[in-house]
Structure 1
Amino acid sequence: MNTRIVLTSLVVALAACSPKPTPTGKAKSAYDYFRYQPNQAPKISAHRGGGDLKGYPENCIESFQYLAQQIGTPTRPVIIECDIDLTKDSVLVMMHDATLDRTTTGTGKLIEQTYADIRQYRLEDNLGNVTPYKIPTLEEVLRWGKNKVTFTLDVKRNVQFAKVVEMIRKTGTGDIAAVITYNAQDAARVHQLDPNLMISVTIRNRAEYDRLRELGVPDNRMIAFVGVKEPDKALYQFLHEKGIACILGTLGNLDKQAAARGDQVYRQFVENGVDIMSTDRPLEMAKVLY
């Protein structure tokens, strides 16, 4: 028999017998994590990164870390919804408000201060308690988040989507981050900037879905924010048939409803069809869902 044939056969046989790589349980991409899958466990999105926790300010790495430890797992990392704004010298930092007064020891408009200026301030929690924590940059947050959490990034008006997409590329975090948009035009712009990114899009009805498709946003890049009140179950069904997961904003009235009637209300939202809930009560929600 030809020696080359024998050697080739041995190589093939050994390869077939070699142990296969063990799956890590981690999503291969943001699409794997954010897409709709039947019978999947519901996911929790911490609004502003959980700012209602005593001693843990919103939009703060230390708060994100606390939530990751409390309710995250390797196969079901907590989603951190967080806000990106800009300093006077064009540094992308995590901040919800246009001013520093409510969440830091500083005062005035963020856009009028440099990054060096704001480094002297400390973050305050939502009860007004001063903490030792500082305002983080988007780069710091993304680099920290690898293998810990996933993100939905809320881009404020001062910030160009291109700068955020560039930072996602720089940090290599496209597999854990989705960009939030509030209209079809912005969603199309983000998709043009990076066709591989997942995008949180507003879909409260069929017309809003149709507009997104007209502008070229594909189903497999959408995560549908269905609003802050429950939609008809038919909308959930329509989006699920297209492989699109649905986010319900329980922050505000629905969280208050759960606090008043009992946290089992969150289970009902899941039974009605929601896949992800964006909440100001992530710990309470986790106790009921997990």
Structure 2
Amino acid sequence: MRICFKNALLILFFCSNFTAFAQHRILPKTVADLQQLLKHSPDRIPMISAHRGGPATGFPENCIETFDRTLTQIPALIECDVQLSKDQQLVMMHDDKLDRTSTGTGKINEKNWKELKKVQLKDNAGTVTDYKMPSLDEVLKWAKDKTVLTVDVKREIPPEMIVAAIAKRKAQSYAIVIAYQIDNALKYYKLDSTLSFSVNVRNAGDLERLDKSGLPYKNIFAFVGTSEPDSVIYQELHKRGISCMVGTMGNLDRRHQARQKNIYEEIIKNGADMLSTDYPKEAYESLKNTMPETSEKKKFFSKK
């Protein structure tokens, strides 16, 4: 399916002007700033992470133009996915195959970057756009002085490659590695102790492993699952100064879309500090009653 000419012109007009529109910013300038932003505190500002960057009609996932669009709407962390090409280039794509989200076919690890950057990206409805696949380096360059990235490292990409890519752009203050397991986070931490991580802490066993790991609490936030954990997990993580993220993509997002109740507000009030969602604008607008009147963290948020 292809976009009709008139709609394509409208999308092109609006996209080409996104960087001219005022955009929300989340701007930790240093590693210490990022650690302060991520640390749980009573005056914390609930944050939204735009899953795969916040795709929408005409705007594909893992696409810089989509990231720009999201920031014109709300302040958001940008979650994005990295794959490795045949010629060892770090490229932005969730799937290990090209077919669903681009005009290409086949596995990414069987294609060179020269081939990959020629394919056109599709939106979630399968509509072909004019947008191209970016590299991780291009995304790191784009994010500087704009927002914080959470980088989901797919499959068997060596940690050394991700660490080197972040170091090249001096992006330790605005690029968080989604490490999943604590042992994996430790591999990255040993390579660069200034990096920040998302790690899975869903139950008491995970919490015990974290405590024994030696991984500094200031370097992490906890992904507590795609459903809410026991309230004790929130409490124990908060005692350690660790913020908690709930992934609402999937079932929780669907429940909110069905208007059963304000799921997003309820999750934040129960103890979550961040939401990773496929509906970033709706989620953010649902949290107005959870925002503190004053917060030391407001200095990291702006719009320009």
Higher relative CO (Cα under 8 Å, sequence separation at least 6) belongs to 2
Find the residue that maps to 2:198 and give its secondary structure.
strand
Shift >4 Å, 4+ stretches: none
CA RMSD of aligned residues (A): 1.5
Task: Determine the structure 2 residue equivalent to 1:33.
Answer: 37
Alignment deviations for residues 188-245 of structure 1 (CA, whole Å, 9 cap, x no partner)? 1111111111110000112212212323211111210000111122211110111000
Higher Rg of the two aligned structures? 1
Q: Distance in 1 between matches of 2:265 and 2:172?
A: 31
Specify the SS of the correspondent of 2:121: coil
Q: How far apart, CA to CA, are the structure 2 residues paired with 1:285 and 1:265?
A: 9
Q: Distance in 2 between matches of 1:103 and 1:176?
A: 26
2:225–2:247 contact (8 Å) kept in structure 1: yes
Alignment match, 1:14: none
**Residue correspondence of structure 1 range 35-74 to structure 2 within 5 A:** 35-51=39-55, 53-72=56-75
User: What secondary structure is seen at the aligned counterpart in 2 of 1:179?
Assistant: strand
Q: Could you tell me which runs of 5 or more consecutive residues in structure 2 were left unpaired when the two chains were aligned.
A: 1-24, 289-304
Q: Are 1:36 and 1:275, in contact at CA under 8 Å, matched by a contact in 2?
A: yes
- Tell whether the 8 Å contact from 2:81 to 2:92 is kept in structure 1 after alignment: yes
Looking at structure 2, the residues matched to 271 and 278 of structure 1 have their Cα atoms a distance apart, in angstroms, of 16
- Residue 178 in structure 1 maps to residue 181 in structure 2: no
What amino acid maps onto 1:108 in structure 2?
A: G
Counterpart of 1:163 in structure 2 is: 161
Q: Give the number of equivalent residue pairs.
A: 261
Are the counterparts in 1 of residues 27 and 147 from structure 2 also a CA contact under 8 Å?
no
CA deviation after TM superposition for structure 1 residue 263, in Å:
6.0
- Would the aligned equivalents of 1:233 and 1:273 in 2 still touch at CA under 8 Å? yes
Question: Structure 1 or 2: larger strand share?
Answer: 2
Q: Is the 8 A contact 2:79 2:152 kept in 1?
A: yes
Which whole-Å CA distance do the structure 2 matches of 1:255 and 1:25 have between them? Answer: 24
Structure 1 residue runs without a partner (length 5+): 1-23, 73-77
Residue 43 of structure 1 and its aligned partner are, at CA, apart by 0.3
Instruction: Return the TM-score normalized by structure 1.
Output: 0.87
- The one-letter amino acid paired with 1:58 is E
Give SS of 1:48's match: helix
* 1:225 alignment partner, one of 223, 226, 235: 223
- Counterpart of 1:203 in structure 2 is 201
2:81 and 2:117 map into 1 onto residues whose CA distance is 18
Distance in 2, Cα, partners of 1:120 & 1:188: 36
Question: In structure 1, what is the equivalent of residue 118 of structure 2?
Answer: 120
